[in-house]
Chains A and B, each alone.
Chain A
């Protein structure tokens, strides 16, 4: 039994059909369909395994969550706060059910074990990459462009599910924000964002822009809307 489709705006690629589904709801029926993220096969049906936006891209069906906590995956970039220093590295709070750990080797230059807080002290922010998720916890690295300690500025949280919008296709949105506010901007998949500029007004504008982007439910042409907003709010 096919689900009644409530069509939702915001699809920037018209060939993908999208509608809201609840867990257990049948999305499509047919052996040729392929269940992807957030779905599962139940006999002939593809059924939603989560609440979110069901998307049919050709024969691949997935459900994109719109709400809920961030769940860490390998390769994710996350912003975290140093909560403790041990002999071998820094314990980082990434706002998840277990702590993350940044080994001492990840510091960009050699530091002594008793000088660790000169690089990262408790309360400092960092942008790191998740290298592994084990029973022990989450392992972070600075292996990638832009990763490392975040100096100055401030951080704030948005809904993790909306982070892709803040980045935009190939970074289009985040670059728009950076250009129009003259800020350094970093966004973690865990929903934490960081902005920096010498000009407080620029940072406030960047935060406001990011909050606007993440608070609207679905908006077609979000990039164009933000372009106009930046023009109006020079």
Chain B
């Protein structure tokens, strides 16, 4: 298992080089960029703000509205503009991943809009999106329990690896590839995103979760550093 060679030479639990920055969209209440290698996501938060139409307002709490999408030219096969089923599903998954850390009850009847766009895609787009959105929510000054950190753990044949590239997602040998994106609340044991595509033996789940813990902790350090640097801009 330890001798598995990844196509880009990384160790099994090694993340791609990460980039993170806040304040990339000056008009927004909070914004951030987060990249895993060649996968680049930007997120902007507007809110709390007015939710139209009125009948959609929830008198008990703020509505968290996430819109995730790929820009047309972020992928080699151009994506037609407009929401796809995939992007609608990821938007919802991202909402589930982020809402547990937000205190939505503090702003009833309002909406908190989170806009996530992928500028360049090389797998792990939803995880980069969650990481960017989490920073953007903090940057927007919203009350939050903690940051949310996300990594796409996966498998190449029978080896568990962290942060797959597109090439690795297309791996066909042996058991093939499995994509297991996860997100968790930093410094906790709470997982807020759980998705899986592929085939993976149940015995490996514990190892996957452990790798998620380690790598999400690394993501947290990058997010924290970017937020702290952002305050002096």
Establish whether A and B are touching in the complex (CB under 8 Å).
yes
Q: Show the binding face of A for B, using Cβ within 8 Å.
A: 6, 8, 20, 22-25, 38, 49-53, 65-69, 71, 96-99, 135, 161, 217-218
Given contacts A67-B139, A68-B30, A71-B48, contact A23 B231 (CB under 8 A): no
- Are B187's CB and A217's CB within 8 A? no
22 A-B Cβ contacts within 8 A?
Answer: A8-B232, A22-B223, A23-B143, A24-B147, A38-B143, A49-B144, A51-B138, A51-B141, A51-B227, A65-B141, A66-B231, A67-B30, A67-B140, A67-B231, A68-B29, A68-B140, A69-B48, A71-B107, A96-B49, A96-B50, A97-B49, A99-B50
* 8 nearest A-B pairs in the assembled complex, by CB-CB distance: A68-B141, A24-B146, A97-B110, A23-B144, A65-B141, A51-B138, A20-B231, A69-B29
Residue B142 CB within 8 A of the other chain: yes
- Give the residue of B48, B51, B228 whose beta carbon is less than 8 angstroms from that of A22: B228
Chain B nearest CB from A96 CB (Å) reads: 8
* Cβ–Cβ < 8 Å partners of A96 in chain B: 49-50
Residue B104 CB within 8 A of the other chain: no
Residue B120 CB within 8 A of the other chain: no
- Are A135's CB and B48's CB within 8 A? no
- Are A22's CB and B227's CB within 8 A? yes
Given contacts A22-B227, A24-B186, A135-B109, contact A217 B233 (CB under 8 A): yes
* Cβ–Cβ < 8 Å partners of B101 in chain A: 23-24
Bound-complex Cα distance A180 to B41 (A): 46
Bound-complex Cα distance A71 to B227 (A): 21
Bound-complex Cα distance A52 to B29 (A): 14
- Are A51's CB and B59's CB within 8 A? no
* Cβ–Cβ < 8 Å partners of B51 in chain A: 97
Bound-complex Cα distance A52 to B111 (A): 22
- Are B29's CB and A67's CB within 8 A? yes
Residue B145 CB within 8 A of the other chain: yes
Chain B nearest CB from A46 CB (Å) reads: 14
- Are B141's CB and A49's CB within 8 A? no
Chain B nearest CB from A92 CB (Å) reads: 13
- Give the residue of B46, B47, B138, B232 whose beta carbon is less than 8 angstroms from that of A23: B138
Residue B79 CB within 8 A of the other chain: no
Bound-complex Cα distance A96 to B48 (A): 8
- Are A50's CB and B232's CB within 8 A? no
Counting chain A CB atoms within 10 Å of each CB, the highest count among B103, B108, B143 belongs to B143
- Are B110's CB and A98's CB within 8 A? yes
Residue B224 CB within 8 A of the other chain: yes
Bound-complex Cα distance A120 to B47 (A): 28
Bound-complex Cα distance A71 to B49 (A): 10
Chain A nearest CB from B224 CB (Å) reads: 5
- Residue of A whose beta carbon sits closest to that of B144: A23
Bound-complex Cα distance A159 to B58 (A): 28
Bound-complex Cα distance A67 to B138 (A): 9
Bound-complex Cα distance A161 to B30 (A): 13
- Are A69's CB and B141's CB within 8 A? yes
- Give the residue of A6, A50, A217 whose beta carbon is less than 8 angstroms from that of B141: A50
Q: Other CB < 8 Å A-B pairs besides A52-B141, A68-B142, A217-B231, 14 of them? A: A6-B228, A22-B138, A24-B146, A51-B227, A51-B231, A52-B231, A66-B141, A66-B231, A67-B140, A97-B48, A97-B111, A98-B109, A98-B110, A135-B59
